[in-house]
Amino acid sequence: MKIAAVIPTYNRPQVLTQCLSSLVSQSRSLDEICVVDNSEGNETGTVIQAQFPGISYCHFPANIGSAGGFNEGMRRVHEQHDWVWALDDDITA
């Protein structure tokens, strides 16, 4: 069984880092973590590349909202996984 997580985010790399740290330290590893970044800057992308190089990252320079972020993330992962876990960036798993 393959499981993915989709996490939309907007200008909160510190909060996202806590969430991602929690996800990657679980006893059952996720097969993919997809972050959809709605922010105009690239700070989040820089943080992900430096601290979480195995995470799928998608950047939209215009804010498509959380619903748009979930939609894009689900579209990217649903065919390769049996289950998709939809998470906000401000939770810790």
In 10 A of CB 75, how many CB atoms?
Answer: 13
Does the structure show a pLDDT above 80 at 93? Answer: no
pLDDT in tens, 64-82: 999 999 999 999 999 999 9
Query: Above pLDDT 70, what percent of the chain?
Result: 98
Distance (Å, whole) CA 72 – CA 52: 20
pTM to 2 decimal places: 0.92
Q: How far apart are CA 2 and CA 46, in angstroms?
A: 27
Q: Rounded to an integer, what distance in angstroms lies between the CA atom of residue 82 and that of residue 53?
A: 23
Partners of 59 in the β-ladder: 37
Mean of the pLDDT values across residues 28-36? 96
pLDDT at 28 over 80: yes
